[in-house]
Amino acid sequence: MWDIASREQRRLELQDALDSAKSQAERNKLGQFATPINLATDILRLAKSYLPRTGAVRFLDPALGTGSFYSALLRCFSEHRIKSAVGYEIDPHYGNEAMKLWRETPLEFMLGDFTEALPPVKEVDKANLIVCNPPYVRHHHLGIEVKQRLRRASADASSVCLNGLAGLYCHFVCLTHAWMARNALAIWLIPSEFMAVNYGKPLKEYLRDRVTLLRIHRFDPDNVQFDDALVSSAVVCFRNTPPVTGTCCRIHIRRFARRAGESQEPDAHCSLPGIEVDGIGVRAGQLRGRKSQAKVVGPFCNQTRDCDRRKQVLRASSNKSQEAGDSGQVPAANTPEPALLAYGRD
């Protein structure tokens, strides 16, 4: 037995002590913001709901930290299902302590720079579950040579050409493509800004064209998930399979109950599908219980290549919106209705 509860308590104490030993400026520069364990557990529960009920799990966290997601993995999956677990951490300040903490568990801990690591060659050695909160390092903290290396490596791994303004988290998503087995599930906790900035366009095209985007959960900008970082977050979930034409993924805005007693009910969700010319734009949507607000982000669609088809979908959506009345339940025309992502619920 791994005594998960005891190890998690020690991990939380370690996280506080290690964070306190660094200045806020140091951690900001390295993009080090630990994932709250409640959020990590909910994300692993979501992962479990997408995976087969039986079969081996080959887990990868390219930015392990002290192991919040790994701890949640051990809580959510039985011991016999975890065939392998690999975690990378570049900072010895956290890595050395994490290595001691998770000793005698399945974790293969790698103290080093994931962006310089070589992916597995054999399909059986690749991960079928990737869960990660990558470092949020802005581009101006990356040197010119580092940027050039990352851009080449990201392009080699995923055929995505990121520009020089992309943050390090974008490169993590692209680099990890080479580590994913076919049909692997990936869940990323990343800044939601990639959906609204120019440097995020290649990443959005990757999500639209290269993989099957399952859902995006965009947290309310007023409800930040990290006590030490004022950044709006998103959980991006996709599968390493080619996308199916005609599918649609919506973006939902909810408040996550970080502490006991806080409401877990959604503030709002975008219920009127928007169809964009390139599938990556922003469109205002109807909000249940609220007036329409332009800041709410619409869906990513991979069905909108044909201009005539796009106009038909928009007209159908408009007609369905009038029929829906106050309920706001408006499915996209001829597309499957995606399920809502409700954190804190099984």
pLDDT one-digit tens code per residue, 234-281: 899 999 999 887 666 655 555 444 444 443 444 333 322 322 323 333
Mean residue pLDDT of the chain comes to 75
Give me the domains of the chain, ranges plus CATH numbers: 4-243 (3.40.50.150), 268-324 (no CATH)
pLDDT digits (tens, 9 = 90+) for 174-208: 999 999 999 999 999 999 889 888 999 999 999 99
Which of the 8 DSSP states describes residue 292?
A: E
Structure tokens at 318: 């408009």
Structure tokens at 183: 């049909």
Cα-based angle 127, 172, 11 (whole degrees, multiple of 5): 75
Q: Residue 325 — very low, low, confident or very high, per pLDDT cuts 50/70/90?
A: very low
User: What pLDDT does residue 187 have?
Assistant: 98
pTM: 0.75
d(CA 1, CA 107): 14
| Section 22-43 average pLDDT | 83
d(CA 174, CA 236): 13
Half-sphere exposure of 335 (CA within 13 A, CB side): 31
Nearby residues of 324 by Cβ (< 8 Å), 6 or more positions away: 271, 330
d(CA 220, CA 330): 22
